[in-house]
Amino acid sequence: MRPTLTPLALAFAVVLLAACKPAAEAPAEATQAETEALPSAADQAAADEAALRNSQTDPLDAILTGDWRSPENAARDGYRHPRETLAFFGVGASQRVIEISPGGGWYTEILAPLAQGKGRYVGAVNDPAKAGNERAAKYYAEGNQKLRDKLAARADVYGNATLVEVDPAAPVFGEPGSADVVLTFRNVHNWVMAGNEAAMFKGFYDVLAPGGVLGVVEHRAAAGKTLEEVKESGYLPEDYVIGLATAAGFTLEEKSEINANPADTKDHPNGVWTLPPGNNHDAADSAKYAAIGESDRMTLRFVKPKADAAPAE
């Protein structure tokens, strides 16, 4: 049985065969400089390997077009910019990623398949037993079960993805230092309204390894607005969110305008929920709010500082 060569091995074989051929007699007009300019076999092999590596498909290409994604979710890519957002946060296929409050699983459909193999995806959801009232407990229990069913329905895609139930007032997301990345998308305003924001950010800090990344996307209030002015609107002042993270011990590494929307006036009658996908407005105003699109959002990358280096002996 003849062995099958991979593309990379074939590239090396072609180069080596070429190197073993007897050298043709150089034309009389060829100069020494021209002869020296020819790449060596090693240089050519390295170039072939680099070309092959650069041509490999980005895993997000297949994930973003995957048949497991709901059409409604995929239709929002133009507003949520998943490829650019995850690249900004530095999310890779081999990382241990925790997504906070994944809701119906919009980002779960992307993050969980990406983490298959060497990575790991954990979705942190609210524990119904820790809810403040029966209505909230029922809401959390039903939402958590729907997300579990979603993962189980496509085990071929979501594989080892897991959910962990946490108490928002005293959250523990995993073993200390066990995560590479913690991500939260459009959740901070909920914790602020519930009074759990400081506890949540402390939990993020505890579960991340030193050097780990906290990625935050959140509805951004108009410049100059105070927390009290916007607290019930779903929008938050950017400086306030940054303050929550830095108070927990994080360092702000970079901001991005990936999810900015200058068309969002942020003065809607029902706050951020007036806009898509909430669409909490009169039907007569649908065209107006559809033209605005989804909210203006801050996109912030924080890092948990690495431990101080040991002093030289």
* Position 58 confidence tier, pLDDT thresholds 50, 70, 90: confident
pLDDT band at 46 (very low <50, low <70, confident <90, very high): low
- What is the average pLDDT score of the chain? 87
| Fold category of 70-303 in CATH | Rossmann fold (3.40.50)
H or E, element range at 102: none
% of the chain residues with pLDDT over 70: 80
Lowest average pLDDT, out of 20-24, 49-53, 132-136, 215-219, goes to 20-24
Q: Specify the range with the lowest mean pLDDT, choosing from 117-121, 195-199, 270-274.
A: 117-121
**pLDDT digit string (tens) for 154-192?**
999 998 999 999 999 999 999 999 999 999 999 999 999
pLDDT for res 21: 44
Per residue in 220-249, pLDDT (tens digit) is 999 999 999 999 999 999 999 999 999 999
CA 113 to each of CA 99, 107, 137, 293: distance values in angstroms, whole numbers, following the listed order: 13, 10, 29, 28
Whether the predicted pLDDT of 277 surpasses 50: yes
Closest to 235 measured CA to CA, from 203, 192, 287 = 192
Q: Which amino acid is at 77?
A: D
Which H or E run contains 136? helix 134-153
Q: What is residue 117's predicted lDDT score, i.e. its pLDDT?
A: 81
pTM of the model: 0.81
CA distances for 144 relative to 113, 140, 182, 187, 294, angstroms: 19, 6, 19, 16, 25
Q: Residue 218: is its pLDDT beyond 50?
A: yes
For the cut 50, the answer to whether the pLDDT of residue 198 exceeds it is yes
Query: For residue 206, what pLDDT is reported?
Result: 98
pLDDT confidence of residue 93: 94
Beta bridge partners of 297: 219
How far does Cα 128 stand from its chain's mean position?
Answer: 26
Q: Half-sphere exposure (CA, 13 Å, Cβ side) for 111?
A: 29
Domain segments of the chain as ranges: 70-303
* 30: pLDDT strictly greater than 50: no
Give the per-residue pLDDT at 187.
Answer: 98
